[in-house]
Each structure stands twice: as structure tokens, then as C-alpha cells.
Amino acid sequence: MDKFFSVADIDDLDSVVREALSLKANPYNWRELGKNKTLGLVFLNPSLRTRLSTQKAAMSLGMDVMVINMDKEGWALETRDGVIMNGTTVEHIREAAAVMGEYCDILGLRSFPSLKDKVADYTEELFNKFVKFCGVPVVSLESATRHPLQSLTDLITITEHKKVAKPKVVLAWAPHVKALPQAVPNSFSEWMCKAQEQNLVDFTIAHPLGYDLSEEFTSGAYLTNNLDDALAKADFVYVKNWSSYRDYGQVYPVEGDWLITNEKLGLTNDAKVMHCLPVRRDLELSSEILDGPNSLVIKEAGNRVWAAQVVLKRMLENLKK
């Protein structure tokens, strides 16, 4: 593996999950693999889980890790080509990425979307430029349209906690006060659609009118605007807010009650509830769910380590070839 950007970078989902769970059982068996190798983690946006879990995964593989919060600690970055840099930007991504590639064997990049320029965001302009100019393997720490380490984590968590061979998984839109990216739901959806193709889950997406995700990510999913119908017999409910894809980055007033509570959970097959975190309590997800026995959010966050570790292990193995 020389890039981890989307579900397309993994052929066999069952096999990557089994490998991740074997790392969870024996985290330090591969310490020699990463010896004298350096991982650079580049953040253009905030992070708690992605930063710490990826650092921990790399250290368990014997790697050295360097982290830069480019938005706060780096020079102001120019990402456009063909501009005279006589404004506020100081360093072009062409030089910045290439220099980081000189210091690191593998790089990770977090770069959120603008939510203003749909074309630039959905062609992954910034992420692709970084990959092109850094010259080393790159793992996405969440890009404009996807969050693959989160989605792999989610599949690992579903596999660990499922009680039937092919659980019903529901992605449920949730309220929020801000316009959030579509990266997490896009990514979860494309991973679940592939898992459905491989006969691992049954997948439904429920969202209010106007919040359709791009069809690029939802092929094969059952789509509905009725949350209660979606929740019927669900084994897992994945809660997440997102802004409109069609009216890019916009949010509309929403009719009906989209907050998952114990009453809503009563419609399900005693479903486990997931969220990538951070979560706004009693806005996106009720405290009674978060503090109750059906919440998987902490175990899910814990599993971020094994998703990162299996991806870095495969990249390190590829470096040795």
C-alpha cells in the first residue's frame, strides 16, 4: 500500500479487519518493522483522536513520529498555482510538501474542505497536490471528502460487536448548529456500500430532505427521509451531522425530530450507537444514549489505533519491497 485515501485502497475488507484485530491482540509484535522509519503527521485542522491514535500506532510499530500543526506552527501555505505570492501566504505547497518528504518515510495529512468551492473540494485539489509534491506514501488523516481511518475503525468496531452475520447498519443524519463537511458520512457510506457488496452488512442512510450525499458514495445503500422507518430492526446506528452537498455547505431548517434518544432506540434491534466524535451532547446525540449501555463511542475511538496500525504496517511492508 503506498497511499491510503479511500476504500478503493483496500481489496478485501474482511482480511484488513482481521489483521487489525490481530494487531489489537498483539500490538508490539512488529516493532522492528518501523525501526529507523519516520512518520510525519501534518495537520491543517484540529484533531484529538486522529493525532493521538496514529502517533500511538506508529510508536507501537517502532517508528519515530513528528507532528506539525501547519495552521498554527507552519508558514502560511499557498496552494494555488500561477499566483504571485505578494499577499499573506509565505510558502507554496510545492516546496513545503517536498521538504517534508525529505524528512519522512511516510506522511499523514489532515485537510478539511472549504465548504465554499465544491469543485476544488470534491476533486481533492489540496490533498492531491500534497501527494504529488511530497514524493512519499501518504495516509489521509481526513481530507475534503473522506475520512478513511475513521471508516476502517467503524468497520472494525461493527465486526467486533455484531451479533448476527449481516447486521443492519443505519447512517442517521443528526442536528447541529454549524455547517459540517460531508467527509465522515461520505466515507462511512462508501465503506459500508463495499461491505454490503461483500455480504458483510445491510446498509441504510436516513437524512432529511435536501441532505442527500453525493451519489458517488452511496451506490447500493437504501436511502430514506424517514428516520423511524430506517431505525426499525437496526443493529447499529451511526449518528452524524452533515451540511448539504447539493446547495454546497448550506444548512436548512429541518422538520421532525432527528435526535436519537432512548425512545428512538426502542424502534431498533437494541442497536449499538456509534459516532466518530467529537459530539455535541443533547444537540447531535442525547446524553442518555452517550452515557447508556448501547453507546460504542469510546470503544470506537479506542479502535482508531488498530485502524492506523494496520494501514501503517501495510505501508511499511510496501517500503521494504
Among 50, 60, 189, 218, which residue interacts with ligand CP (rule: CB under 6 A)? 50
Give every CB contact of residue 30 below 8 A, 6+ residues apart in sequence.
Answer: 23, 60, 61, 62, 313
Size of the site for ligand CP (CB under 6 A): 8
**Residue located via cell numbers 496514529:** 54
Give every CB contact of residue 84 below 8 A, 6+ residues apart in sequence.
Answer: none
C-alpha of 20 from chain center? 16
For residue 198, what is its C-alpha cell? 461483500
Angle at 13 between CA 8 and CA 15, to 5 degrees: 130
Site membership for ligand CP, residue 150 (CB under 6 A): yes
CB atoms within 10 A of CB 257: 12
Nearer to ligand CP, 111 or 268 (CB): 111
CB atoms within 10 A of CB 227: 22
Residue 204: CB minimum distance to ligand CP, A: 22
Site membership for ligand CP, residue 295 (CB under 6 A): no
Nearer to ligand CP, 150 or 186 (CB): 150
Site membership for ligand CP, residue 76 (CB under 6 A): no
Site membership for ligand CP, residue 48 (CB under 6 A): yes
Report DSSP letters for 176-201, one per residue. Answer: -SS---SHHHHHHHHHHHHHHHTTS-
Give every CB contact of residue 62 below 8 A, 6+ residues apart in sequence.
Answer: 30, 31, 32, 33, 34, 35, 37
Site membership for ligand CP, residue 67 (CB under 6 A): no
Nearer to ligand CP, 21 or 277 (CB): 277
Binding-site residues for N(2)-succinyl-L-ornithine sit at 142, 176, 240, 280
C-alpha of 174 from chain center? 17
Among 57, 158, 174, 276, which residue interacts with ligand CP (rule: CB under 6 A)? 276
Nearer to ligand CP, 265 or 307 (CB): 307
Among 38, 47, 69, 114, which residue interacts with ligand CP (rule: CB under 6 A)? 47
Q: Which span sits near ligand CP by CB under 6 A: 21-29, 47-55, 289-297, 308-316?
A: 47-55
Among 223, 267, 277, 319, which residue interacts with ligand CP (rule: CB under 6 A)? 277
* Positions in the binding site for ligand CP (CB under 6 A): 47-50, 142, 150, 276-277
